[in-house]
Amino acid sequence: MVNILTAGGPMLWLILATSGVAAVVFVERVLHYHRAQINSMEFLTGVRNVLKRENVVEALSICDATPGPVARLVKVAIMNRDQGREGLRGVLEEAGLIEVPPLEEKLNLLATIAQIAPLMGLLGTTLGMIKVFTVLQVENVFANRQLLVVGIWQSLICTAAGLALAIPAYAAYNYLVSRVNSIVLEMERAAAEIVNIVTDPPRSEK
């Protein structure tokens, strides 16, 4: 393993450092989405039951105690419940636009790593071949086989490392995008439901 790291040259170390960044971003985003995604239907049922008792303070407390964008949207809806159905929809749309960018944060970095990883490997390959041809030019036909092997090794290792980073990085990016889409869909469903909850007049019990 040490021999491979040494033979890969400086580009291999750069690829390894980039892979570390990609791993950190992926883990951080997964944890963030895990905290952001809740059982929205169960949450809305609890809020509806509290609002039926006209206990707005308790409903807001439930929203504050629940993490994630869905709870924040519901809180916005409760606080602006007197604006009517259309006004409330506009307020929730604006609030949703604010909530989406933090969900997409750092995804561009992961996508960029997936795109440039093969190019980094190709650069390492090119540098390795330059080393080979430099030896051939200097040594001519009497070139030392060991000196040629060093350049070829660097080329192959960098190519493999670039692809080994690009493939999982691209898969991780697509997975995270699907998680974001799932959370946004939950936000849209929750927004539609909370509009009905806060704008429908409470039914008097007989």
| Residue 200: other Cβ atoms inside 10 A | 11
pLDDT exceeds 80 at position 14: yes
Domain residue extents for the chain:
2-199
pLDDT exceeds 60 at position 204: no
Which of the pair, 98 or 153, is modelled with greater confidence? 98
* Run of H or E including 10: helix 9-36
91 three-class SS? helix
| Residue 15: other Cβ atoms inside 10 A | 26
Give the span between the Cα atoms of 69 and 166, in whole angstroms: 31
| Single pTM value for the model | 0.83
